[in-house]
Structure 1
C-alpha cells in the first residue's frame, strides 16, 4: 500500500502504449462497491479468491499493465499465475514513505489501526519473501514517478533480453 502501483502503472502503460487495469478498480466495478468494502464485508479469504479469479481473467487476454493490490502477490496461487503469464514487478518503497502516502486517505482497512506505521512495517516484513519472487525489483522512494517508470522500462528491456 502506497508504493505507487496505480500511479506508476498508469504512467508505464501510457509510455508503452498499452492498456492499464487496476485490479482494485476492476473489483469495485464488478462488486458495485469499493474494494475496501468487499474486503470488510466478505473477509480476506473471499476477497483474495475473487481477486485471483479476476487476475486470471486479466492475464489471459491482451498485453497490458496491471496493478494488483498489495496482498494479491502474497497469495501463492495468484503469485504463481502472475509469474507464469506476466512479467512481475515489485515496487519497493521504505515504510516511512509508505506511511506518508497512505496517510492521505482513510480507504485502507488494514491501516485502520492505532499504529498504521507499525502495521505497514509488519506487512512489509511478512510479504517481503513473496514479493522477492517477482521477476523485477524496483526500489522507489522520493524520486518522481517518471524516474520510476524510466527504471522499470530499463529493467524490462534487460529482463526481455536475458
Structure 2
C-alpha cells in the first residue's frame, strides 16, 4: 500500500488514540483466510495505533528462502510448514505493540491458540468468493482450469473447503469483524466498497467493547 493509502483518517486516529492507553501494548492477531483485505487491514491498524506490523507468512517465506521455496516446502512437507508457522507465532507472541497478520493455520491446534492468548485475536471474516477473485487478480494459478470462469469456480471450491476445515478455530477469536456485516452497517450497495479503514474502525470498536468488559470484571472483583 502507498503512504497515502496508509494515512489514517481523523476518525480512525481519534479512535486509536482513545484505545492505545487501555491496550497497554497488547498485540493484535488477525486470523482468518489470507487475502489482501486482511493484509491491508493489518497495515492500517498498525499505522493508526503506532504499532509494528508483521505478516507471519512473509516471515515463514523469508526463513524458507523466498516465496517459491516456501511453496515447495508446504507442498512437500505440510507438517513441517505448519511447525514453522507455529515457531513464528511463538516468537511474535513474546513481543508487545504488534499487529500480526497470522497465517491460515494460526488458529488451528492447542499450541497456536495458546500463543494467540498473549494478545487480542480478531477473526477477519471475508467471503470466499471475494478472496478467490482477489487471488486470481494477483496471478495465483489454478492448473486444472480451462478458462477464467473455471479458474474462479475452482478457487471458490478450494477456499470453501479450507474455510470449512478452519472456521472452528477462527471462531475462537476474541472478536469477529465480518466484511458483509460492515458493508450492511455502512449501507454500501457493493461489498467491494468496504475499505480497510472501514474494517479497522470496526476492529477498534470491537476491541473497545472487550477492554470495557475487562475493566468491568476487574472492578467487580475488587473487595469493598
TM-score, normalised relative to structure 1: 0.88
Q: Which residue number corresponds to residue 45 of structure 2?
A: 12
1:32-51 to 2 correspondences below 5 Å: 32-34=65-67, 35-41=70-76, 43-51=77-85
3-state SS, counterpart of residue 102 of structure 1: helix
1:136 aligned onto 2:175: yes
Q: Distance in 2 between matches of 1:58 and 1:33?
A: 20
Give CA deviations for 1:32-68 in whole Å, capped at 9, x if unaligned: 2224243134x21101111101110011022210001
1:91 aligned onto 2:111: no
Any runs of at least 4 consecutive aligned residues in structure 1 with deviations exceeding 6 A, and if so which? Answer: none
Q: Which moved more, 1:112-121 or 1:5-14?
A: 112-121
Measure how far apart 1:98 and its partner are.
Answer: 1.5
Match of 2:61 among 28, 39, 43: 28
Q: Distance in 1 between matches of 2:144 and 2:86?
A: 26
TM-score, normalised relative to structure 2: 0.65
Q: Distance in 1 between matches of 2:75 and 2:86?
A: 17
CA RMSD in angstroms comes to 1.9
Q: Distance in 2 between matches of 1:112 and 1:65?
A: 34
Q: Which moved more, 1:47-56 or 1:70-79?
A: 70-79
In structure 1, list runs of 5 or more residues that go unmatched. none
Measure how far apart 1:29 and its partner are.
Answer: 2.1
Q: Number of residues paired by the alignment?
A: 158
In structure 2, list runs of 5 or more residues that go unmatched. 1-33, 146-153, 181-190, 214-224
**Which one has a bigger Cα radius of gyration?**
2
Measure how far apart 1:80 and its partner are.
Answer: 2.5
3-state SS, counterpart of residue 161 of structure 1: helix
1:116 aligned onto 2:116: no
3-state SS, counterpart of residue 14 of structure 1: helix
